[in-house]
Amino acid sequence: MPSPSRRTVLATGSALGGTLLAGGLPEQASAAGPKPGEPASSDPWRSVLDDADLVWRRMPATWYEGPFLGNGFLGSGIYAEPGAAKSAVRFNVQHSEVQDHRPEFGSLFGLARLPIGHFTLEPVGAITGVDWRLGLRDAELTGTLTTDRGTLALRALVHNDRSVLAVEVTPSAGERDFRWVFHPADAISPRAAFKPLPEGYRGNPPAEVAEHDGVSAAVQPLLAGGQHVTAWRERSSGRARTLYVHVAHSYPGTSALERALKAVRRTSPLPYSALAVSHRAWWHAYYRKSFLSLPDARIQRFYWIQLYKTASAARRDAPVMATSGPWLEPTPWPNTWWNLNAQLEYWLIHGSNHLELDAITRSLSEFRDNLAAETPAPYRADSLGIPRTTDPRLVNGAADPLTGYGVGVPGQNPPTPEVGNLTWALHNVWLSYRHTMDESILRDVLFPLLRKAVAYYLHFLEPGPDGKLHLPATFSPEYGGDSRDCNYDLMLLTWGCRTLLESAELLGIDDESAPRWREVLAKRTPYPTDANGFMIGADIPFAKSHRHYSHLLAVYPLYELTGRTADERALIERSLAHWVGFEGALQGYTFTGAASMSALLGKGADALRYLGELMNRFVQPNTMYKESGPVIETPLSAAQSLHDMVCQSWGGTVRVFPALPDVWQDVTVHDFRTQGAFLLSAVRAGGVTRWVRLTSEAGAPCVVRHGIAGPVEVRDGRGRPLRYSDAGDGAIRIALPKGDSALITARGDRPDLTIAPVRPNAEAPPWGLEDA
């Protein structure tokens, strides 16, 4: 083996079951798992999660193939060491807070996420095989590495609370002398491998490695000040040896070293099994906040993997996910992207009932003052915007030399006037409000920030000869070229004005801008269209392959246009067909957007077909995704497309099973969170919706399109009849106070209220890598 370079440091030498809704209609199904003496198969969560485990029968070679662990901050991707697949396994060590702090070089160089390094697990012998399982339920990697000298049994986790990577290895006799080696990475923007360096930019100096009373630490100094530190220690217990790793970042101070050493010293006395207890408890409780089972085995497994992935990559107090989450790899996109990626990454948290992961609402609130610096100086008094890319504190960095700010000005270029990103990000905040009905989100975050995002538009909106209000040229993300009356901006402006008026009424605010918002809704120019449907803008038809649905936001996700009339439906159908009809530039999230738009139209078979295109053409063996570099928004948005097939709640109506394909005869959903802060449980069996239950957390108006044919009964949590009225279009209106529940069934029916996985239509291979 060649001697290590100065950047390589030796770390060490030597079934199917169910949960019955007790009493017919409790507030929650039991989340405690099987009772003592019950088989594990009686726990529906355990059944679906164990079935969804990823399995490796051969060595993964890349980030797109291997296991991944994380807790929103610390992340590790595991695969063969490039160029040494027979002699080492790489455990990446990356952290979502580790970044550079040189804003003069912009968000993609000077403020970029910085690579930290990786450990290699180096056996004595040559690697001949792997048998690994990424257990979703416990969020742990377990299995065996086989060599021509013996075996290495391993268990690995990134601890949820302690933010420590712990890897326990138990070697056979012939592998007792395996070793761990740490390889610090060059602390330079990953974009440097793809794009020329800005003038004057250089990488940070090498990491400095030293021992600190039995704990090793690689201290990475930063030219801008501050540091990030990787600290580690290995402890033995019998034949087992456990590696403990922690990463800390500090700026502008140098406290990271002290914190990293403290974390390792505090954690390393605990054996792996003791660490696993509290780690597993968090994950078990996490999954039990909702439940979904579909008869497509591969898609069901994919869905639960996305829930695992999201909780591995996101926390409310963690940075908004960068394009590759906490698992940084070489990428041209080493920061947070605001013209689609961030929005798509977080949609699934609402329906799956995981608002504890909502970093977007927290970040926009906490760092709102930084957005002012990204807004053109003449408009900062009353306006805000967000550039295409920022660091976790919403800073874009280097000003354009010609214009001096990060957000473009309509009608001017450079920089590209991509104006709608903040308004679209605030739609995510609105979703968090609507799914919780937490008035503090509306009052303290959404309303004040949306007011300033819309105010920026209002500076440029002017009447034309037709008497309509028009926007000067702006940019529709990624299509190319600026256009007057760009649909991306007109659609977001319309949603913004409507939402501000509704919010002001709810909050009892008599806002001086309200007349202007009403004027916009009454007089803004119609969305530009032609024979093919929605155009990019008044100056640019949709005439080439384009992966982004920036010109279709009024359809999805804004639901401003939903096909209420025959003409509106035909326009949506024509626009969707024209958009996906251009092959060439289409990418994975093209098909998740198309699936959700099809679900809006009630076309479940089309939605499933689009998801099939995604799975077959773009999703990687471990459910990750790539476009030039690693990006994670598309698989996460596919989970939202599944949500849109199972439940929609836009426009004040909860729609149960609105877009199921005929091949999905059986579906179970439990504690699915909807707008209005309802928790929905429902079962479809044999192509018939048997029962629907809604629990109100906020006492909001309850209108539900239940999908049960014929006359229905509505009963409360004690089985007593509840009053309801016909709301039209197959929906009913129920008076449902806060904390109360309603069960809807066919009249005279008393269905089984068990929450259980449904039987798959066919067998499917697990995700991961099977034998070659």
pLDDT in tens, 353-362: 999 999 999 9
Q: Which class would CATH give 358-541?
A: mainly alpha
Supply the pTM of this predicted model: 0.95
Confidence check: pLDDT of 562 > 90: yes
Confidence check: pLDDT of 9 > 50: no
pLDDT category at 86 given cuts 50, 70, 90 is very high
pLDDT value at position 30? 35
Rounded Cα distance, 387 and 103, in Å: 14
Are 9-14+55-288 and 358-541 equal in CATH topology? no
Confidence check: pLDDT of 80 > 90: yes
Query: By mean pLDDT, which of 63-72, 138-147, 580-589, 736-745 is the weakest?
Result: 580-589
Structure tokens at 236: 């033995």
pLDDT value at position 630? 87
Q: What is the mean pLDDT of the chain?
A: 93
Rounded Cα distance, 736 and 69, in Å: 41
Confidence check: pLDDT of 26 > 90: no
Domain ranges of the chain: 9-14+55-288, 358-541
pLDDT category at 41 given cuts 50, 70, 90 is low
Amino acid identity for residue 403 in this structure: T
E-strand spans in 519-571?
Answer: 529-530, 533-534
Burial-class residue 362 by CB neighbours within 10 Å (0-12, 13-18, 19+).
Answer: middle
pLDDT value at position 415? 85
pLDDT category at 533 given cuts 50, 70, 90 is very high
Rounded Cα distance, 745 and 467, in Å: 52
Q: Are 680 and 659 in contact (CB under 8 A)?
A: no
* Helices then strands, each counted (H, E), the chain: 17, 39
Q: Are 303 and 639 in contact (CB under 8 A)?
A: yes
pLDDT value at position 272? 98
Which numeric CATH code is attached to 9-14+55-288?
2.70.98.50
* High-pLDDT (> 90) share of the chain, %: 90
496-523, pLDDT tens digit by residue?
A: 999 999 999 999 999 999 999 999 999 9
pLDDT value at position 42? 83
Rounded Cα distance, 558 and 239, in Å: 57
Question: Residue 477 to residues 420, 541, 701: CA-CA distances in angstroms?
Answer: 9, 14, 37
DSSP state of 114: -
Q: Which of 371, 508, 520, 510 is nearest to 442 (CA)?
A: 508
Category of 380 on φ-ψ map: left (φ > 0), alpha (ψ -120 to 50) or beta = alpha
- DSSP H or E segment with residue 174: none
Provide CB contacts within 8 A for 301, sequence distance 6+.
51, 52, 764, 766, 767
Question: Residue 210 to residues 167, 181, 259, 589: CA-CA distances in angstroms?
Answer: 22, 14, 15, 45
375-430, pLDDT tens digit by residue?
A: 999 999 999 999 999 999 999 987 655 445 689 999 998 888 999 999 999 999 99
Q: Are 233 and 270 in contact (CB under 8 A)?
A: no
Count other Cβ atoms within 10 Å, centred on residue 573. 17
Q: What is the CA radius of gyration of the chain?
A: 27
Rounded Cα distance, 527 and 485, in Å: 8
Rounded Cα distance, 236 and 411, in Å: 66
Confidence check: pLDDT of 29 > 70: no
